[in-house]
Amino acid sequence: MDGANYAQALEGLAKRPPSTWRDTTELRCLRALGRGERALRMAKQLYRSELSSSHSNGEDRERDDQLRGIALIFAEQGQAREACDILQALCDNSPDNAALRHEYAYALINDLQFDGAELELQTALAIKPTASKSYSLLASVYRNTGRVDAAMNCYYRAATLEPENPRYLQKLAHWSDYCSSSDQQLNFHLTQLWARKAFPHRHKDSHTWRAAKPNRQLKLAFVSSNFCRHEISSSVLPLLANLSRKEFHVSAFSCTHTPNSISKKIKAQCDTWRDCGDLSDGDLAKQILQDQIDVLFDLDGHTDGNRLGVFAKFNAPLQISWLGYASTSGLESIAYRITDQIADPVDVSDIYFSEELIRLVNGFICYQPLASAPDVRPRKNAETLVLGSLANLDRISNKTIDCWSYALHALPEAVLHLRQEQLINASAHIHLIEQFKQRGIDEGRLRIKTSKLNPEQYLAEYNEIDIALDTTPYNDMHATLDALWMGVPVVSLSGNTHASRLSASILHRAGLSKYAVSKLTDFTAQVCELANDPKLRSKLRARLRSKIEACSLMQHQRFADEFGAAVREKWQLWCEQQRLKEQ
């Protein structure tokens, strides 16, 4: 088990006589192997017998260890409240145990109790200031409560405490795009540091053999841990549905642990579907090799649950990144990245990608709105002007609040409508309100909603909003698409990173380029222009949906053809390189 060979450890454990230690170790192995259901069954069973026993907490260390194991599985398998109860009781008995408080905080996070988690982590760190894992966990609390800059500092602390651990560098690379001071160059440097630590013996050349026939049918495969999310499916589904099957055989390697109706829809559009959530990187790589994939697409980048460990080696001759991540992978084994010239203007950003950029002429994504999207409802002119954003808190950076505050100052009658479940936590709520107050915006001008909505209700929320304000430096691309679909114009501040130009790419294609601006003062000016022209807003409300339908965002066949042609061209180039190598 120390060598992380959990499967072998499980076999060994089966031969041991029953004991608390054996059960606890088995739970740990199952958890490490990602066998959630089996782990949960076992945890429930152990917990039932624990409840019927007469022990009390703190009496027996082995027993406490087992309870901790049970609680962690509960926390991860949808029973976070029970996990919190168990760990709280254990913390009460051992108040100076930093590791226990860390685990309690973890359970609280899984129960979306970020305030409590923050408190526990602060206490854990006061007891043990060098606990890198606690900084990392605190960072996730900060992110979820809208304090990304503070989260980055925690990741930095963790990374300096464990300089050889690439995991924290990966977090830094990922979240640097969300910070107010985001910068492509820094992101590139951090990603390069990660790559050197994570894969010191990187593969630079493809040794994967495939029949190098330029025009044969190609096996494409998409790897994602997010085939359960609308944000991914709205672009992936129309692509899969329209890729030529004469030219391409399409597979999906789904690494999600929580498949849902969206996963089913994606599965229905694939020629081959593989559930790989429980597979290790090594096993996934074997599957990919076995399936003889020609072109492998990464849709996760450095986000949680990514499979860059698979992409670090050449499991397919061509490896390409697309869609799910805004910056470079940092891996030379991923040769290309699909983007467009608005999101990544030519020559400006190329040097900060380890991949060669493929710029699709008609944009790097397409859009398929929710079939059950509600109708657009007209706004009455007499109603209060409502600016709004339904973005996640982690995107609401200081810079975003600067933009929004400028707009609110310029429009003293307007209110800002925000909806986010996490704002139910006091720390998140207080932080957000305070940020606006610092900028002279009273709490009364913020309409904050916290209830969770289903996708239809979420879209219907736009019927309450006159002008959608985008986030920066990480644009909320899907919120932009949804807002436009619901007839709400979006104003976006663009920067020099891909993440800060996502909405510009969409607005450009929707013929609304003027609403993607590069200066704070222009942001306010555009919002004011829309605010002061109710006729224009009504016109846009009435016509935006048809405008989106007519633009390249919803020309699915054209998008799939262009996407396919770009892949084919790179495949032909690879074939040519093989031919030259053989000569």
Partner 1 sequence: MPGLQQHNDNSKMNDSSSQAQSLMSQAIKAMRENNLSEAIELSAEMLEIDPNHAGANAVAFTSLFKSDKFEQARRIGGRAAELNPKSEFILNNQACLQLEAKQPAAAAGLLKSLIEQYGETAQWMYNLGLAQRMVGSYQNSVSAFQRTLDLEPEHDKAAFQLAELYSLTGQLELAARQYNYLRLLRPRHAPAHSQYIHHYTIAGEASATDLNQEVALWGERFIPKDKSYPQFIEQHADKLKVGFVVGVIPTSYWSAIVMPLLNELSADVEIVVYWHDTHNKALHLEPDVTVVNSSGLNDAEFARQIRSDQIDTVVDIGGIQVGCRQRVLGMQVARRQFGWLVHQGTFASNRITILDEQLGSQRFCFDLIDDFDEVNGDSERKMLFAINTNSGLSESTIQTWAQILDELDGWSLNLDATQPAVQNELRLRFAKYQINAPQIGFDPESRPNKGDVVLENLTNNGVVNTYTALRRGAAVVALHGELFPAQQSSALLTQAGRGDWVVGRRSRYKSKVLQLIADGGIESISDTQFKQSQLHSIGEYAKRMHRILAGESAD
Q: Indicate the angle between helix axes 114-127 and 426-438, nearest 10 degrees.
A: 90
Q: Are 320 and 298 within 8 A, CB to CB?
A: yes
Cβ proximity to partner 1: between 156 and 529 the closer is: 156
Q: Of 41, 115, 156, 449, which lies in the binding site for partner 1, with binding defined by CB under 8 A?
A: 156
The minimum distance between CB 121 and partner 1, in angstroms, equals 10
Rule CB under 8 A: is residue 122 a binding residue for partner 1? yes
Q: Of 143, 157, 541, 556, which lies in the binding site for partner 1, with binding defined by CB under 8 A?
A: 157
Rule CB under 8 A: is residue 10 a binding residue for partner 1? no
Cβ proximity to partner 1: between 146 and 363 the closer is: 146
Rule CB under 8 A: is residue 446 a binding residue for partner 1? no
Binding segment for partner 1 among 198-206, 215-223, 518-526, 547-555 (CB under 8 A)? 518-526
CA distance 461 to 373: 11
Which residues sit opposite 64 in a β-bridge? none
Q: Of 130, 215, 381, 513, which lies in the binding site for partner 1, with binding defined by CB under 8 A?
A: 130
Rule CB under 8 A: is residue 496 a binding residue for partner 1? no
Rule CB under 8 A: is residue 163 a binding residue for partner 1? yes
Which residues sit opposite 359 in a β-bridge? 339
Binding segment for partner 1 among 61-69, 189-197, 215-223, 385-393 (CB under 8 A)? 189-197
Binding segment for partner 1 among 57-65, 152-160, 234-242, 475-483 (CB under 8 A)? 152-160
Rule CB under 8 A: is residue 437 a binding residue for partner 1? yes
The minimum distance between CB 108 and partner 1, in angstroms, equals 18
Binding segment for partner 1 among 62-70, 94-102, 126-134, 270-278 (CB under 8 A)? 126-134
Cβ proximity to partner 1: between 153 and 341 the closer is: 153
Q: Residue 415: enclosing H or E segment and its boundaries?
A: strand 415-419
Q: Are 86 and 70 within 8 A, CB to CB?
A: yes
Q: Are 289 and 266 within 8 A, CB to CB?
A: no
CA distance 352 to 262: 34
Residue 145, helix vs strand vs coil: coil
Cβ proximity to partner 1: between 68 and 157 the closer is: 157
Site string for partner 1, 275-304 (x = CB under 8 A): ------------------------------
Q: Of 47, 178, 188, 311, which lies in the binding site for partner 1, with binding defined by CB under 8 A?
A: 188
Cβ proximity to partner 1: between 136 and 368 the closer is: 136
Q: Of 514, 519, 539, 543, which lies in the binding site for partner 1, with binding defined by CB under 8 A?
A: 519
Per CB under 8 A, contacts with partner 1 among 191-220 are: 192-193, 196
CA distance 495 to 519: 9
Rule CB under 8 A: is residue 169 a binding residue for partner 1? yes
Rule CB under 8 A: is residue 159 a binding residue for partner 1? yes
Cβ proximity to partner 1: between 208 and 471 the closer is: 471
Q: Residue 249: enclosing H or E segment and its boundaries?
A: strand 248-254
Which residues sit opposite 252 in a β-bridge? 222, 273
Which residues sit opposite 448 in a β-bridge? 418
φ/ψ (deg, to 5) at 120 = -65, -40
CA distance 201 to 197: 9
Per CB under 8 A, contacts with partner 1 among 309-368 are: 351-352
Rule CB under 8 A: is residue 402 a binding residue for partner 1? yes
Amino acid at 402: D
Q: Of 46, 75, 124, 190, which lies in the binding site for partner 1, with binding defined by CB under 8 A?
A: 190
Rule CB under 8 A: is residue 520 a binding residue for partner 1? yes
**Alpha-carbon torsion (410, 411, 412, 414), positive or negative:** negative
Cβ proximity to partner 1: between 17 and 440 the closer is: 440
Task: Please name which of 454, 469, 449, 572 lies closest in space to residue 515, comparing C-alpha atoms.
Answer: 469
Which residues sit opposite 418 in a β-bridge? 389, 448
Q: How many residues bind partner 1 (CB under 8 A)?
A: 36
Tokens of 38: 């089996």
The b/e string for 376-406 (b: 16+ C-beta within 10 A; e otherwise) is: beebeeeeebbbbbbbbbbbbbbbbbbbbbb
CA distance 547 to 317: 40
The b/e string for 125-156 (b: 16+ C-beta within 10 A; e otherwise) is: bebeeebbbbbbbbbbbbbbbbbbeebbebbb
Q: What value does the CA radius of gyration of the chain take, rounded to a whole number of Å?
A: 25
Residues making contact with partner 1 (CB under 8 A): 122, 125-126, 129-130, 149-150, 153, 156-157, 159-161, 163, 169, 172, 181, 185-186, 188-190, 192-193, 196, 351-352, 402, 437-441, 519-521
